[in-house]
Amino acid sequence: MAQNLFDVAGKTVVITGGLGQLGRQFAQTLSGNDAKVAILDIGVRGEVSGDSVLYLKTDITQRRSIESALAAIEKKWGIPHALINNAALDSPPHISCEETSGVENYPEEAWNKIMDVNLKGTFLASQTIGRVMANAGRGVIVNINSIYGCVSPNPQIYEHKKKNGQAFFKPIAYSVSKSGLLNLTRYLATYWAPKNVRVNTLTFGGVSNNQDPEFVKEYSRRVPLGRMAQEHEYNGAILFLVSEASSYMTGANLILDGGWTAW
């Protein structure tokens, strides 16, 4: 029988932000392929853990919070095999007009909040969980990026909002925080290569999620494939990066964006 190149059975995979739109997809795909999945999310409330899934209320901006989640994972399943750094803020909740109206008025608090989660939180999770994987001599880290960490958002997509008297710019802190992941990946990849911990960036284009039809039209016509992604379309890349199928890949950036960054 052919060996399953994308085998993740029995691996313990930690997903930050695992309750979100894409994190849920990754969790279902991995547990559907017999991995054990630990979901670390600030939004965990009454979710029920089981034999192959563990929900842990965790704030990735707080080192102690990640440490206590790791202790619970190690107690149940031992040292994790993989970490998917997926939790991120696009804009903080209760977004203010200043935040979307352009750089000149972009609030410092919004910058701090986004940097705190997207960069510092990703660093703290990598440091805490990467350390034990490195000590075990194996591991995988996947840092979830956006096309807006590779190229600047195109403000023309939001031109239609001006007709309604609104100005909208994708927040600068989101782009800057996501671009920081590219070198966080490269740094950790070379740093932990001797310990057999592979670290890669996985970059996504926009995902369909009941957005305003005008936005969907404007976005889609700038994508070579002519549409937004469906939320399941990144699951194959997750299996690839977590499994031995990507055993010679580290420090790289895998881009799934329908061709957005190709022209």
Which residues contact ligand NAD by CB under 6 A?
A: 16-17, 19-23, 41-43, 58-61, 86-89, 117, 121, 144, 146, 204, 206-207
Q: Please, what is the minimum distance in Å from the beta carbon of residue 150 to ligand NAD?
A: 10
Q: Which conformational region is residue 102 in: left (phi greater than 0), alpha (psi within -120 to 50 degrees), or beta?
A: left
Q: Please, what is the minimum distance in Å from the beta carbon of residue 246 to ligand NAD?
A: 19
Q: Please, what is the minimum distance in Å from the beta carbon of residue 255 to ligand NAD?
A: 11
Please provide the DSSP assignment of 122-141 as one string: HHHHHHHHHHHHHHHT-EEE
Nearer to ligand NAD, 121 or 171 (CB): 121
Q: Which conformational region is residue 153 in: left (phi greater than 0), alpha (psi within -120 to 50 degrees), or beta?
A: beta
Nearest Cα residue to 38 out of 84, 5, 6: 84
Q: Please, what is the minimum distance in Å from the beta carbon of residue 85 to ligand NAD?
A: 8
Count Cβ atoms below 10 Å from residue 209 Cβ, excluding itself.
11
Q: How far is residue 59's CA from residue 115's CA, in Å, rounded to a whole number? A: 14
Nearer to ligand NAD, 16 or 185 (CB): 16
Q: How does DSSP classify residue 229? A: B
The amino acid occupying position 218 is: E
Q: How far is residue 158's CA from residue 219's CA, in Å, rounded to a whole number? A: 9
Nearer to ligand NAD, 179 or 196 (CB): 179
Residue nearest to ligand NAD (CB): 20
Tokens standing for residue 42: 């600030």
Nearer to ligand NAD, 16 or 243 (CB): 16
Q: Say whether 53 sits in a helix, a strand or coil.
A: strand
Nearer to ligand NAD, 136 or 254 (CB): 254
Opening angle at CA 82, ends 21 and 143, nearest 5:
55
Nearer to ligand NAD, 171 or 206 (CB): 206
Q: Say whether 183 sits in a helix, a strand or coil.
A: helix
Q: Please, what is the minimum distance in Å from the beta carbon of residue 102 to ligand NAD?
A: 21
Q: How far is residue 71's CA from residue 224's CA, in Å, rounded to a whole number? A: 45
Nearer to ligand NAD, 58 or 246 (CB): 58
Chain center to CA of 59: 15
Q: Please, what is the minimum distance in Å from the beta carbon of residue 101 to ligand NAD?
A: 21
Q: Please, what is the minimum distance in Å from the beta carbon of residue 53 to ligand NAD?
A: 15
